[in-house]
Chains A and B, each alone.
Chain A
Amino acid sequence: MKGYELKQKISKIYRFATKITIYAAVLITIVSFILDIFDIKLSVITKLEWIILSMLIATPFLGIIVAIFYYYTHKNTRILLSALGIIIFITAVLIKGYIS
């Protein structure tokens, strides 16, 4: 199997992110449900929700960053440029969004 070492690394990142997301999301849902019953609103819950969502969105890009290092050491220019292109584009969009 080609690039098994890379596939193992990406798989580990994805598995870790899945576990954290599921546990944290279930916990937040239960806490929100209890707070909803007593009509309590906590801003910390919204912050935690954003952290979970940000982590989830970042996971696929973290996989690509790992791939960039792998293809750089293996001198696979075509894939390296494509992966770099994705990350540079995303970073540019995020910076532009943050500024505006």
Chain B
Amino acid sequence: MEIILLVAIGIIAGFLGALLGIGGGSIIVPILVTFLHYPMHTAVAIGLLTIVATSVSVAHVNILKGLVNLELSLILEFLTVIASIVGGFIGNKLDNNTLQIIFGIILSIISLIYIKESIRPKIESNIIKDKNSFFYDEYYDFDLKKYVGYSPINIIKTMIVSIMAGTFSGMLGIGGGILKVPAMNLLSKIPIKVAIATSNYMIGITAASGSIPYIIHGKISPAASIYMIVGVIFGSKVALIKFDKIKDKKLKILFGLFLIFVSLNMLYKGLMR
């Protein structure tokens, strides 16, 4: 019965994640801990592995479309990978309750950022185009029907955000795209489509790195991870093929509030035990 339950939860998480633009980890970890009473560390490890699976399954299309800035991502990932592994080791050292409390606080903040981003009007930031820039790249925009060139700036600032996201990723089993995408778009002036695709590519590397400490400490449940991966990939594919991405602000805010409720519930449980 547990197999069906895990696949079903994976489908729901993948479906909601793809439609609402929030990573699966933010949904999977609290559900596993709150409803299926999984230990926090196992839930975090499962969250990380599903993130790797979704990232890998989407990245190959984005890379071919030229939406991933490989050079920028490799530069940003050097310190982010280290941060993620350090985060993973810290997560393993912390006890269940402390990790639950930290997760509750961070997920509340992420949910608030998600609500704010949902409300913020989507204005494309001014793209800087300098062909001599080290990170200059271009992609073919199918909506504009032309090649769009861009040169990322403020790399250090984006790197700091990326390191922060990496630490949380390894420690809490979340992707951190909610932090990386606005940073790339607003700080580095990267077009939003490239920011989303590059962040998704980077998240796969970060989550794969973050999962290593959990493997070393034997905190991974391979069976549960496989069932969840099947569900998440299936759910996200169905959502992306059959439905359009939800743009309704009210629904996004409602979902953000639901995430805050879940995170506060985790915080409460962590404090009360």
Contact = CB atoms under 8 A, between A and B. Distances in A.
B207 to A, nearest CB: 8
Main secondary structure of the interface of B (DSSP, over half): helix
Contact of A17 (B56, B66, B227): B56
B141 to A, nearest CB: 12
B63 A14 contact: yes
Interface residues on A, range: 35 or more
Nearest to A32: B3
B85 interface: yes
B137 A2 contact: yes
A67 B56 contact: no
Given A32-B223, A89-B81, A1 B137 contact: yes
A57 B140 CA distance: 30
A49 B216 contact: no
A56 B49 contact: yes
A73 interface: no
Contacts of B75: 78-79, 82
A14 B139 contact: no
Interface in B239-271: none
Contacts of B212: 57, 90, 93-94, 97
Contacts of B74: 64, 67, 79, 82-83, 86
B257 to A, nearest CB: 33
B7 interface: yes
A32 B74 CA distance: 38
B105 interface: no
A61 interface: yes
Contacts of A15: 60
Nearest to A22: B233
19 contacts: A1-B66, A7-B63, A7-B66, A11-B59, A11-B60, A21-B53, A22-B230, A28-B226, A29-B7, A33-B4, A49-B223, A57-B215, A59-B56, A61-B208, A82-B75, A86-B77, A90-B81, A93-B216, A100-B216
